[in-house]
Amino acid sequence: MAITAPESTATVTLTIDGHEVTAPEGATIWQAATAAGIDIPVLCHDERFDPVGVCRMCVVDVGAPAFAASCVRACEDGMQVKTSTPELERSRAMLTKLLVSDQPPRERDPKQTTTADNELIALAERFGLAPDGTALPQASGRGVDLSSPVIAVDHDACILCDRCVRACDDIQGNDVIGRSGKGYDTHIAFDLSDPMGASSCVSCGECVAACPTGALTNKPINNIPIRPRTELDAVDTVCPYCGVGCALTYYVDREKGAIAYAEGREQPGSHGRLCVKGRYGWDYAASPQRLVVPLIRREESYPKGALSADVRGDMAADGESNDHGTASNGDPSRKHKGGKRGRKPGGLVDYAEVLPHFREATWEEALDVVARRLTEIYTAGGPGAIAGFGSAKCSNEEAYLFQKLIRTGFHTNNVDHCTRLCHASSVSALFEGIGSGAVSTTFGDIKNAGVAIVTGSNSTANHPVASTFFKQARRNGTTIIYVDPRADKMADHADIYCQLKPGTDVAFYNGVMHEIIRLGLTDDEFIRARTSNFEALKKTVADYPPERAEQITGVPADTIRRVARAWGGAKAGIIFWGMGISQHTTGTDNARCLIALCAITGNVGKPGSGLHPLRGQNNVQGASDMGLIPMFYPDYKKADDPAVRARFEQAWGTADLDPNKGLTVTEIIGSALKGGVRGMYMLGENPFLSDPNINKVRKALAKLEFLVVQDIFLTETAEFADVILPASSYLEKDGTFTNTDRRVQLGRKVLDSPGQARVDWEVVQDVANRIGLDWHYETPRQVFDEMVTVIGSYQNLSYDNLGSTGKLYPNPDPARSDGTVVMFTEKFNTNDGLAHLVPAEWLPAKELPDERYPYVLNTGRMLEHWHTGSMTRRSYALDAIAPRAQVYIHPSDAAELGLEDGDMARVSSRRGSIELATKVSHREARGNCFIPFHFREAAANLLTIDEIDPFGKIPEFKFCAVRIERADG
Ligand code: SF4
Ligand code: SF4
């Protein structure tokens, strides 16, 4: 292993067990020995934490009167070290014996089925001390805590090594665990000695991964026992949820055909960390509700419309709970069973209600219908009558093939995906400003930043592992500025928190730039040599002195000045942003300001500086790179450029690609409403819940002449389908995925698909061939090899050189390098190589609060759930932790409205009304409320408006006017 601790290039030479070893100055003996292949046992030590040397297991003989703890003792020149002598072994054996004798009986609680990878037991076995059940009597004194849905705590098995404390504090930055009690009663404690399940623990499981005994263990999920690692298959892959793309290993019980548990895996971007979704949220794939056979809508179920009574609005809520109809997994002849009609909705499509409207079909029949109907509509209505929504959850290969199918099969650029709903405005501004839509540096580069602005990004919930790097950087001296209308957890970790009014970002950043220019904190040489249009920007921001910015944003002028000084005075700074910036009708203007702020201070193109729009889905970066967007071919080549079109016509062997940009997600819905788009292929998207103003979406979907939905579950959108194709989950296929850092990683097949469900790229190919495209891809690798020929940024990458940790693109030499961290060191990707500064004037949001609708609604995600909830609400752990929809309201607003925690509230906008539980939250500002959009039974997007940003065409999910009242009022 590499010795990483010291930064010095000086070395020392010492002798360890008779071998001469050279180590960097400052390295510990344990590091030097390990690098030389010499094993020294440890219990309290883990290289990811600061060493504490409390367990004394790693002591070595350095010729001094007392043994030295090798995990903390630094190497010295000429030092003579012995790591294994009879005395040392006796000391370690005695320590182990004492610790083991104080362990509880291993089988006392079946839920404690821990890893048999218990390091203490392994040591006991090494010293011939395997536990014989004769634990000391006091070994059962401190008890167990089973209050967390996912983690079992056995205080009696704890050896107080503090690895969990350091994992929680130093690695995840959650600061939940400490110590409580005295003497023998000393124990680890969650918050103020609360039960773990009632504490502020976010169930990241880092403490479990760190625990060397059975004190903190994963509980079995869905009764799949956690057996020793040696009895399970290890599959290295990548987390299927967010754009952070954490590397992980699934341990698979092949006998049961199921995952037993997951562990983080070392990779330069995630360093083995996971959040609750990655560590515990994978069992959705084994849900008995998986679609396992193709389905065709029955004749009697036309005309089309929503099939669920609650969506149709004709259901009597009778208060019964919904136990969800199920499909017997893996059996194509299964019968769907479930509850009665008219029950109160429980959060997922009621299969018993919807499935009778479909009949089972063979793949041949279903694919024939899909090809025939889409071809008929295309023939009658032309290219404009067809559209496709692809998925940012599918692999790069699948995204590439899907857009190729729509473009070459139906000669239209009407192909889009959920990037339109997350960072379309950021991409639009980035292309205009610097000629590239991808991040200019990685999130891990924050370690080199003097200052970082995290803005419009609830990162602890949306990009949890990236946020651990932010928190860690702050501990190491980086100043964190957090700018967001919600004082979410990142605010707790910020040096400066700016709670601006929603929709006032342009005024805030213009105010900051005004002050930076006034104080002379600009990088004039960078502005001169590497930017254009500075004078126009300067003129615009001159109208935003901090006092005026304060009037608009509500952020005190002095705080704006403080931000300007912190940003302008730092040696390097990065801006991370999320959908709080992009999901506005001014989203492109917001991002333009961030680009300008970086550029005028020279904060692009050097370590610790740059622009990082945190990408949402696991493969939204890749899907965009692959051209799953209506205005770009793969690699962001303009769809309406004749030269580009000619190039792709040649590459794809076709003669009639669409010369015009296609329609975006929201435009396709609008066109369908007017009868323009009449046939759609929906691959893994659920616009019924994810798009704004879903009453409008519902009408559009109902109006389509033909809709094929390819998905793993029966979604709300599938209720409008003519044909439903059962797809493979992420865990059931090979493919590549590109994370927010531009890291291209291999996702590997973990499980077989249930029933007749099929891998998505194969289904897309079957449709392609039925409409006459003559495709012959045999593997995802073959698709990747073709992709690379048309996507310059992925040049040199291949399945053979991505390795277990993936590679960043661009990457001139993947054999030697992880790829490019910092982009634009010399010039930008614009035509003239300069950053184009685009001034923006502040504009108010489209729908402001008034007397009837006095609150501002903000929508977004929560840590435990993902998008439309189709995966996470079928995950035992995630649903157990966060089972219900809530509206977050400031305590004073709640008091005025007569609402207390848990009371049912009715939230209404001009477009609809939903009922959900109240969450009184000090993190909201007065007059604002927040609703996560994952919950079908209280769909936030029933309330949102479909006004869009004119450039990125992204809807204004973050701002609309609502009324709140007691639901029983
Ligand atoms: S699960 Fe995570 S947040 Fe909870 S105590 Fe363990 S390390 Fe801390
Ligand atoms: S941070 Fe994102 S990629 Fe990492 S484990 Fe969590 S959801 Fe998965």
How confident is residue 136, by pLDDT bands cut at 50, 70 and 90? Answer: low
Burial class (CB in 10 A: 0-12, 13-18, 19+), 826: exposed
How confident is residue 138, by pLDDT bands cut at 50, 70 and 90? Answer: low
Q: Is the pLDDT of residue 6 over 80?
A: no
Tell me which ligand sits closest to the C-alpha of residue 279: 2
Atom 4 (ligand 1) nearest CA:
201
Q: Could you identify the atom of ligand 2 that is nearest to the CA of residue 618? A: 3
Write out pLDDT tens, residues 408-447. Answer: 999 999 999 877 777 889 989 999 999 988 899 999 999 9
Q: How far apart are the first and last CA of the chain?
A: 65
> So what's the pLDDT on residue 130?
62
Tell me which ligand sits closest to the C-alpha of residue 216: 1
Q: Is the distance from the beta carbon of residue 176 to the nearest atom of ligand 1 less than 6 Å?
A: yes
Q: Is the distance from the beta carbon of residue 202 to the nearest atom of ligand 1 less than 6 Å?
A: yes
Q: Is the distance from the beta carbon of residue 211 to the nearest atom of ligand 1 less than 6 Å?
A: no
The residue to which tokens 């218990």 are assigned = 118
Q: Is the distance from the beta carbon of residue 207 to the nearest atom of ligand 1 less than 6 Å?
A: yes
Asked if residues 388 and 406 have their Cβ atoms less than 8 Å apart, the reply is yes
Nearest by Cα to 340 from 356, 358, 322:
322
Q: How far apart are alpha carbons 299 and 711 in whole angstroms?
A: 22
Q: What is the average per-residue pLDDT within 463-473?
A: 97
Write out pLDDT tens, residues 194-233. Answer: 999 999 999 999 999 999 988 999 999 988 888 888 889 9
Write out pLDDT tens, residues 780-833. Answer: 999 999 999 999 999 999 999 999 999 999 999 999 899 999 999 999 999 999
Q: Could you identify the atom of ligand 2 that is nearest to the CA of residue 278? A: 5
Q: Which two tokens stand for residue 870?
A: 């189709």
* Cα(226) to centroid(ligand 1), Å: 20
Atom 8 (ligand 1) nearest CA:
168
Percent of the chain with pLDDT over 90: 78
Mutate to test the pocket of ligand 1, among 176, 196, 261, 472 (most ligand atoms within 8 A of CB): 176
Q: Is the pLDDT of residue 963 over 90?
A: yes
Q: Is the distance from the beta carbon of residue 201 to the nearest atom of ligand 1 less than 6 Å?
A: yes
Q: Could you identify the atom of ligand 1 that is nearest to the CA of residue 216? A: 6
Q: What is the average per-residue pLDDT within 245-262?
A: 94
> So what's the pLDDT on residue 870?
84
> So what's the pLDDT on residue 311?
66
Give the bridge partners for 583, in sequence order: none
Nearest by Cα to 243 from 614, 493, 748:
614
* Cα(150) to centroid(ligand 2), Å: 17
* Cα(264) to centroid(ligand 1), Å: 14
User: What is the pTM for the complete model shown?
Assistant: 0.91
Q: How far apart are alpha carbons 725 and 961 in whole angstroms?
A: 38
Average pLDDT, the chain: 90
Q: Where are the alpha helices (DSSP H) in 813-890?
A: 876-881
> So what's the pLDDT on residue 859?
94
Q: How far apart are alpha carbons 597 and 580 in whole angstroms?
A: 17
Q: How far apart are alpha carbons 956 and 421 in whole angstroms?
A: 9
Q: How far apart are alpha carbons 956 and 935 in whole angstroms?
A: 19
Using CA atoms, how far residue 202 sits from 279, 785, 881, 889, in Å, is: 12, 41, 9, 21
Tell me which ligand sits closest to the C-alpha of residue 465: 2
Nearest by Cα to 40 from 80, 89, 76, 94:
89
> What lines the ligand 2 site, CB under 6 Å?
239, 241-242, 244-246, 274-275, 277-278, 464-465
Tell me which ligand sits closest to the C-alpha of residue 217: 1
Write out pLDDT tens, residues 884-901. Answer: 999 999 999 999 999 999
* Cα(201) to centroid(ligand 2), Å: 16
- Sheet (strand 451-455) strand order: 496-498, 479-483, 451-455, 573-577, 610-613
Is the pLDDT higher at 507 or at 968? 507
Atom 7 (ligand 1) nearest CA:
168
Tell me which ligand sits closest to the C-alpha of residue 866: 2
> So what's the pLDDT on residue 969?
62
